[in-house]
Amino acid sequence: MRNLLIFLLAGWVFCFNAHAEPPNPDNLQLASVSAKVASVNDGSALYEKRADWVVPIASVTKLMTAMVVLDSGADLNERLEVTKRHFPAAANAYSRIRPGSRAKRKDLLHIAVMSSENYAAYLLAWHHPQGYDAFIQAMNDKAQALGMENTQFVDSSGLSIENVSSADDLVTMLTAAYGYEEIRNASTSAKHDVWFTHPGYSLYYANTNPLVRSSRWDVLLSKTGYLSEAGRCLVMVANVQNKPTAFVFLDSFGKRTPLGDAGRTRRWLSGTASGRIAGAAAQYEKDKAQKLSVVQIAQD
């Protein structure tokens, strides 16, 4: 009888927790200017902070780039020539890839999403079966098809500040990207070596999100981004209490700030104290939010 009572009590606790309300959002303080946390399973929002603001998204763009490549049905084993860009490269578009060499489409996709290789993302668009312009159009068409009404793409790398979206829309994009096994695997691998031909050489790449290498995290999909106008960005899907959860953190100060926001959010979801924000990061968030509020009013 005692064992039966324990079993029934455990079942009651499980059912109660399964239907429990998310923690109080007032107890979570984040350094990112804009953010959203949501359940991947049902799309329900767990936390929102200026989630409707339209802002530059930098290399978060590359998740849409990867989806369009995979949707095209192009041969992933085809070796693509490293051609020169047909427009001037951005100041921060440095790449170790040698013009004239060749790499497999699947390797370029891998390092674009894992290591945020800008040249690789450009080459994926350039070698689209219908051409570069059609690739960019396909990015925007897919965004519209997904219901991402506040999103626009003008390049495949995210180097343009005209690539914009909102945290609301990016949760939608994350959920869609989560459905692609190739993107999940590439974005969460710790490293990747690419063998180029004509001439033959190899390049080593590492993941830009250190959380994929952390034993404390179970990251299922990941993408980072940075431009001075966009700040530090991080979007990812991670298991939290055995539930795939979408995290979107846009425009924060310093490389480690979005990682800190991720940790604070996970602790908050687990019912523990989320933790404090560093003074410099908090001041950045306050100043940037004041500046961007004017832009958002103008857009409305």
Long-range contacts of range 139-142, CB-CB < 8 Å, 24 or more positions apart?
139/64, 139/65, 139/68, 142/64, 142/67, 142/68, 142/71
Rounded Cα–Cα distance for residues 240 and 230 (Å): 27
Whether 223 is a known active-site residue: answer no
Catalytic residue, candidates 115, 116, 165, 189? 116
> Which 3 state secondary structure label does DSSP give 130?
coil
Whether 59 is a known active-site residue: answer yes
297: burial class by Cβ within 10 Å (0-12, 13-18, 19+)? exposed
Helices (H) and strands (E) in the chain, counts: 9, 11
Whether 157 is a known active-site residue: answer no
Rounded Cα–Cα distance for residues 177 and 132 (Å): 21
Catalytic residue, candidates 49, 62, 223, 288? 62
Rounded Cα–Cα distance for residues 58 and 49 (Å): 19
Residues written for the chain = 300
Catalytic residue, candidates 34, 59, 166, 252? 59
**Which of 169, 175, 122 shows the shortest CA–CA distance to 150?**
169
For residue 243, how many other CB atoms are within 10 A of its CB?
13
Packing angle of the helix pair 62-72, 105-114 (nearest 10 deg)? 160
**Which of 233, 236, 234 shows the shortest CA–CA distance to 246?**
236
Packing angle of the helix pair 62-72, 132-145 (nearest 10 deg)? 100
List, by residue number, the catalytic residues. 59, 62, 116
